Amino acid sequence: METKENQYHIVFFPWLAFGHIIPFLELSKSLASNGNGDIQISFISTPSIIKRLPPIYPPSLKNRISFVSVDLPSVDNLPAGCEATVDLKDGEQTQYLKIAYDELQAPVEKFLNEMKPDLVIFDVINCWIPDVGAKLNIRTAFFSVFSAPLLAFVGPISEYKDSNSERTPEYLTSVPEWIPFSSSLACRHHDAIGFNEVMNSKDATGLSTGDRLVRVVEGCTFVLLKSVVELDGDYVNLLKDLYQKPIIPIGLLPPRAHGSSASSKSGDSSTNINSEMFHWLDRQQPRSVVYVSFGSEYKMSIDEIHELAFGLESSELPFLWVLRKPEGIDQSSLLPSGFEDRIKSRGYMCFGWISQVEVLSHTAIGGSLFHSGSGSISENLFFGHNQILMPMIIDQGINARFLVEKGLGFEVQRNEDGSFTRDAVAEAMRIVMVEPEGQQLRQKTTEMSKNIFSDYDLHEDYIQKFVSSLGPLLNKE
């Protein structure tokens, strides 16, 4: 792809998880739509993932974004056809997906050498991109789909340069010493176990996430954050000190009316299910329904599903629950006996694919009970929904602490082992949605939604500032 002197060719290359892929795609569309057609995008991923991406909207961007398909090699212990984390049976298989992903270095380097782009925007897992960029004299930018508070909590890369395999999770259960201002960022004990393992334990690739982060931050030209200083400016500024690199917030990439989710491949039956679901929502009172979803990555156990079901039932609030059936479990045993009959007057169960943004945009939705994933946080607060937080994996606990710190969420109480009770679920739902105790949270959510999360002009300004800075950043001026 040839570019003129005043044009930029930017390559995007995300990790194989839709929680990463979709923000990368949204950023690519934002950049392609800015300027006068002077930014051309190449988006690298696997054939299966490219097929599952939403259509480019508006259609006028199609001639500015090209999808580059690279075949994922077969590796031991990775089931055939698994090209994304959502395809995996469990988290144990993720390390084998990383092995296959790391083997993409040669074909990706060949593509970059042929195309000579101005910039490669990459992820934390493909930590070898900065070395490739240095070899080919191509600038590289680490785009973090993780929040600025999360990266600040993880800390300076010096923390991960030496072997930390002997570290115990307890060091993560207090606010880090390098955060100099008042903060509540700390893991609960059950959060800390998984967080410590991911950051400090080497997997089958021979690397930990901490190892990868060191190579990423040391090697990249600059860092892009899905962030605005109006929300988390203290943490953004802290990262500038910790990383000693240019740190550039590019806005929160708020959802648009079209193309914000990975597409459904389930056919007409999914469409029919969604039609029934929206008809049910149409009959509910405005802002009365709690949307319940824990994403595609976390697989709940049957015990967790049953306890959550009893909590939803005892809350006496209307809810829409999108539930992914665990592999190997018959749907007849998925929910407690008689549950669907008991809640049918005020609850709706959805077992298929849905467009989360479309559901959240419905006037009946007023709150969300969810895992505190960063993408869902932005979507919920864009629509001004009150947040009931129940983090499940890795970064989600820190996300939840930050939201509580900002008065934008209420966390379901957990036992020390991370388990939860139906009573804790019901209590949190009622506090957030209807009880006087949650009134201040509801007011703050409405205010922040209007002033930050749904302010398109604010986020567009961040993108425009980044586009304007490309020349100096890439030494093209």
Spatial distance between the Cα atoms of 68 and 327, rounded to a whole number of angstroms: 32
What's the fold here for domain 8-254+456-474?
Rossmann fold (3.40.50)
The full DSSP string for 135-194 is HHT-EEEEEE-S-HHHHHHH--GGGGSS--TT--GGGGSS--TT--S-------HHHHHH
pLDDT at position 329 is: 74
Task: Give domain limits for the chain.
Answer: 8-254+456-474, 270-452
Does domain 270-452 fall under CATH 3.30.10.20? My reply is no
pLDDT in tens, the chain (477 residues): 454 555 899 999 999 999 999 999 999 999 999 866 789 999 999 999 999 999 888 888 999 999 999 999 999 999 999 999 999 988 899 999 999 999 999 999 999 999 999 999 999 999 999 999 999 999 999 999 999 999 999 999 999 987 666 678 999 999 999 999 999 999 999 999 999 999 999 999 999 999 999 999 999 999 999 999 999 999 999 999 999 999 999 999 998 754 444 443 333 334 455 889 999 999 999 999 999 999 877 888 999 999 999 999 999 999 999 998 777 777 778 999 999 999 999 999 998 778 899 999 999 999 999 999 999 999 999 999 999 999 998 899 999 999 999 999 999 999 999 999 999 999 999 999 999 999 999 999 999 999 999 999 999 999 999 999 999 999 865
pLDDT at position 299 is: 83
pLDDT at position 260 is: 43
pLDDT at position 270 is: 47
Spatial distance between the Cα atoms of 32 and 372, rounded to a whole number of angstroms: 29
Which residue from 141, 149, 144 is spatially nearest to 238, judged by alpha carbons? 149
Which residue from 301, 322, 417 is spatially nearest to 369, judged by alpha carbons? 322
Positive or negative, the CA dihedral 243, 245, 246, 250 is negative
Spatial distance between the Cα atoms of 67 and 24, rounded to a whole number of angstroms: 13
Q: Do domains 8-254+456-474 and 270-452 have the same CATH topology?
A: yes
Which residue from 381, 124, 388, 153 is spatially nearest to 253, judged by alpha carbons? 381
